[in-house]
């Protein structure tokens, strides 16, 4: 190649990226853009709303967002989801870490069967799992109530019942992520700790868990996002009891506004508010973890 010849830009990277870019634009960028478009508009009714031109779409700017932020039902749903999420995150991630550490122990038996047994509930669709537990919660069918004598669908217990469904279905996935990370750790670390006189408990607390920190953070962020978007469990269990309202969670309110009352514009604005709060909570958690890890103020 002579010094004066022009460099040719390779086309292979762009050809490889084209399908991903097209899918991103069609199924992510365009829906988000259309949601923002709807969130800034509203139907204006003239007169009695009859005849051609009586209903027209008008631009209202950020009015729908202001209405969503001032909606008491939305914030009540957030409070319920925060309580539900705190319960789910602690129990689910705690069990996932415990199971991963136990399965990674050299003394464990039937590890393959145990891994499959713990992971299997994750393979059950959320609707099917909620229906199964819903029938188990019914007073006339529940063997649990016969033992505990507690109404599992009552106002004071429904949050725990829904959290149980989420923990049952999500623990296996998080366990597998943590267990896979543990299996990638060189065994030499454990042998060196044993030579220094460390017990299996000390190895778990002082070697395994610190190395697992990035995976624990990852599973926590994913779990926070999934908890904020809780919809399947309360919607599926709602026919079993009258203690779950149509706006129990923020996403249930979006569904009601969009498909029950027919207010697509309010639903679009509320969905954007939910997405923004999800980002704030997720990145806020990452910021707190980073500050503690690296000592930043």
Return all residues near 162 (Cβ < 8 A) that are at least 6 apart: 84, 230, 233, 234, 237
pLDDT value at position 4? 47
Kindly report, residue by residue over 193-214, the tens digit of the pLDDT.
888 888 888 988 889 999 999 9
Domain that holds residue 17: 12-61
56 and 80 part of one domain: no
Residue pLDDT, tens place only, 12-50: 888 899 999 999 999 999 999 999 999 999 987 766 556
Residue 22 forms part of a structural domain: yes
Which of 6-10, 162-166, 209-213 ranks highest by mean pLDDT? Answer: 162-166
Whether residue 183 sits in one domain with residue 138: yes
On the question of pLDDT at 167 being above 60, the answer is yes
pLDDT, residue 297, reads 43
Q: Percent of the chain at pLDDT above 70?
A: 92
Q: How far is CA 193 from each of CA 37, 125, 155, rounded to the nearest angstrom?
A: 59, 42, 50
- pTM here? 0.85
User: Residue 4 falls within a domain, yes or no?
Assistant: no
Position with higher pLDDT, 55 vs 297: 55
CATH of the domain at 238: 1.10.3720.10
* 245, 77 Cβ separation under 8 angstroms: no
Instruction: Report yes or no: 57 and 36 within 8 Å, Cβ to Cβ.
Output: no
Which pLDDT score is estimated for 201? 87
Selection from 77, 80, 65, 70 nearest residue 270 by Cα: 65
Claim to verify: residue 195 and residue 83 sit in the same structural domain: yes
* DSSP of 103-144: HHSTT-SSHHHHHHHHHHHHHS-HHHHHHHHHHHHSTTT-HH
Q: Are 228 and 85 in contact (CB under 8 A)?
A: yes
């Amino acid at each position: 190649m002579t010094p004066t010849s022009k460099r040719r830009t390779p086309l292979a990277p762009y050809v490889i990226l084209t399908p991903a870019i097209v899918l991103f634009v069609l199924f992510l960028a365009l829906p988000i853009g259309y949601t923002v478009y709807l969130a800034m508009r509203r139907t204006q009714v003239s007169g009695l709303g009859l005849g051609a031109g009586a209903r027209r779409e008008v631009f209202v700017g950020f009015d729908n967002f202001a209405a969503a932020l001032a909606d008491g039902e939305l914030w009540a749903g957030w409070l319920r989801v925060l309580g539900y999420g705190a319960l789910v995150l602690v129990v689910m991630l705690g069990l996932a870490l415990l199971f991963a550490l136990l399965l990674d122990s050299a003394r464990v038996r039937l590890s393959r069967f145990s891994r499959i047994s713990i992971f299997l509930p994750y393979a059950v669709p959320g609707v099917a799992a909620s229906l199964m537990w819903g029938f188990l919660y019914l007073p006339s069918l529940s063997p649990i109530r016969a033992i505990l004598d507690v109404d599992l669908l009552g106002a004071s217990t429904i949050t725990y019942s829904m959290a149980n469904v989420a923990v049952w279905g999500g623990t296996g996935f998080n366990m597998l992520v943590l267990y896979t990370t543990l299996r990638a750790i060189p065994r030499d670390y454990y042998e060196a700790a044993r030579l220094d006189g460390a017990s299996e408990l000390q190895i778990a607390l002082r070697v395994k868990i610190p190395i697992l920190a990035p995976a624990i953070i990852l599973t926590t962020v994913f779990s926070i996002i999934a908890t904020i978007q809780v919809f399947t469990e309360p919607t599926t269990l709602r026919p079993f009891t009258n203690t779950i309202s149509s706006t129990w969670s923020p996403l249930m309110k979006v569904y009601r506004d969009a498909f029950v009352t027919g207010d697509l514009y309010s639903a679009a604005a509320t969905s954007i508010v939910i997405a923004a709060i999800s980002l704030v909570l997720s990145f806020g958690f990452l910021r707190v973890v980073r500050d503690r890890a690296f000592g930043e103020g």
